[in-house]
Amino acid sequence: MSIHPAAVIDSKAELDSTVTVGPYAVIEAGVQIGADTKVEPHAVISGPTTIGERNLIGSFAVVGGAPQDLSYKGEPTELIIGSDNKIREFASIHRGTVEGNMKTVIGDHNLLMAYTHTAHDCIIGNHVILANVATLAGHVEVGDRASIGGLVAIHQFCRIGTYSYIGGVSGISLDVPPYIILAGTRNRTRISGINKIGLRRNGFSRETIGNLSKAFKIIFRSPNLLMKDAIAIAKQEIPDCPEVCALVRFFEESRRGVVKQTIMD
C-alpha cells in the first residue's frame, strides 16, 4: 500500500494493500477499495461506497457524496463501482436514495471524464463513455457501450440504450433507443441514424447492421404509420434478429417515451 502521509483516511475505511492514495485525498468511513486502485490527490470518497479493482479516482473527484435530493434524510444508501474504471478530475458520483433501491451502481471499464456528474440512483453499465461535463440526473440508466458527448444533460428517469451515441451539447428528456446516433441541434436533439461505425468497431456483423437499418427505416421513416404499428411491423418483418428484438423491446418498456424525431423530419 502506498499512502501519502498527507492523505486523510478514516480507520473504518477498508483499503487493499495495493491501493495508492495521493496527498490530501480524503477517504471516509464505510469505504471499501479493491486491489490496484489509485486515488489521486485531493479526491474525496465518502461511504458507504464499494470500489472494485484497478480503478482510477482523479484529483478533486467527489465519489460517494450524499444525494442532491430533498427527500434524502441521511439514510445509509450506497454507491457500488466495479473494476477498471477511469473517473477523472472533478467528477462527482452520488449515492442512492430510499426511492431508488438505496444505491447508485457503476459497472466495469467505464470512462467518466472531467466534470461529469452521476446523480443518485443512476445505473451505468460497462464500457460507457461520459465526455467532459456530461451530466446524469437521478435514476438515469445507461446501457453497455453507450457514448455520451460533452455538455450533454440527461433528465431524471431517462434510459440510454446500449451502443447508442449522443452528440455533444444535447438535452435529453426522453429515452434514447439502443444502436442509434442522436445529434444535437440549436433547438432540439434528433436521431440521425443507426450507429454503424460504433457497431462495426464492436464486431457486429454486416447482416445485423443491415437488419437494424431496416428496422430503423420502418420505425422512424414511416410517416403514415403510428409508432405502435411501425414497431409491430418491424417485429414481424425481422423476427430473428436479437438486436432488432432488443430495439423493439426498448420501445415497449419505455415509461417516459422515446425520442422519435429524426434529422429528416
List phi, psi (to 5°) of 253.
-95, -5
Structural domain includes residue 19: yes
Q: Per the domain annotation, does 187 fall within a domain?
A: no
Q: What's the longest Cα–Cα distance across the chain? A: 68
Rounded distance between C-alpha atoms, residue 64 and residue 128, angstroms? 19
List of residues 6+ apart from 217 with CB closer than 8 A: none
Q: Based on the domain organization, do 44 and 134 belong to the same domain?
A: yes
227-237 and 242-253 helices, crossing angle to 10°: 160
pLDDT above 90 coverage of the chain, percent: 89
**Final residue of a domain: which of 114, 142, 170?**
142
What tens digit of pLDDT does each residue of 217-245 get?
999 998 889 999 999 999 999 999 999 99
Q: Are residues 133 and 204 in the same domain?
A: no
**Cβ neighbours of residue 106 under 8 Å, at least 6 residues apart?**
79, 80, 81, 82, 85, 93, 112, 118, 122, 124
Q: Enter the C-alpha cell of residue 159.
A: 434510459
Same domain, 122 and 13: yes
Task: Confirm if 168 and 131 have CB atoms less than 8 A apart.
Answer: yes
Question: In what order do the strands lie in the sheet containing 26-27?
Answer: 8-9, 26-27, 44-45, 62-65, 92-94, 117-118, 135-136, 153-154, 171-172
Domain end call among 122, 142, 162: 142
Catalytic, out of 121, 125, 144, 149: 121
pLDDT of residue 174: 94
Q: Is residue 107 part of a domain?
A: yes
Residues 15 and 97 in one domain: yes
- State the cell numbers at 245: 428484438
pLDDT at 133: 98
For the segment 136-185, what is each residue's pLDDT rounded down to a tens digit?
Answer: 999 999 999 999 999 999 999 999 999 999 999 999 999 999 999 998 65
Same domain? For 137 and 26 the reply is yes
Q: Is residue 9 part of a domain?
A: yes
- If you search the block for the grid coordinates 471516509, which residue do you land on? 28
Per the annotation, the verdict on 120 as an active-site residue is yes
Domain that holds residue 212: 198-253
**Overall number of domains in the chain:** 2
- Sign of the Cα pseudo-torsion (202, 240, 248, 180, in order): positive
Exactly one of 30, 96, 138, 149 is catalytic; name it. 138
Asked if residue 156 is part of any domain, the answer here is no
* Domain identity same for 20 and 100: yes
Look up residue 144 and give its DSSP letter: T
Task: Give the domain CATH number at 224.
Answer: 1.20.1180.10
Residue in 94, 120, 139, 167 annotated catalytic: 120
d(CA 25, CA 89): 12
Indicate if 121 belongs to the active site: yes
State the CB neighbour count (10 A cutoff) for residue 148.
Answer: 29
Looking at residue 189, its pLDDT comes to 74
Confirm whether 174 is domain-assigned: no
Contact partners, residue 194, CB within 8 Å, separation at least 6: 179, 180, 181, 209, 212, 213, 216
Q: What is the percentage of the chain residues whose pLDDT exceeds 70?
A: 97
Task: Indicate whether 154 belongs to any domain.
Answer: no
End-to-end CA distance of the chain: 58
Strand-strand pairing, 159-160 and 38-39: unpaired
> Does residue 262 lie within any of the structural domains?
no
The answer to whether 84 is a known catalytic residue is: no
Q: How many CB atoms sit inside 10 A of residue 261's CB?
A: 14
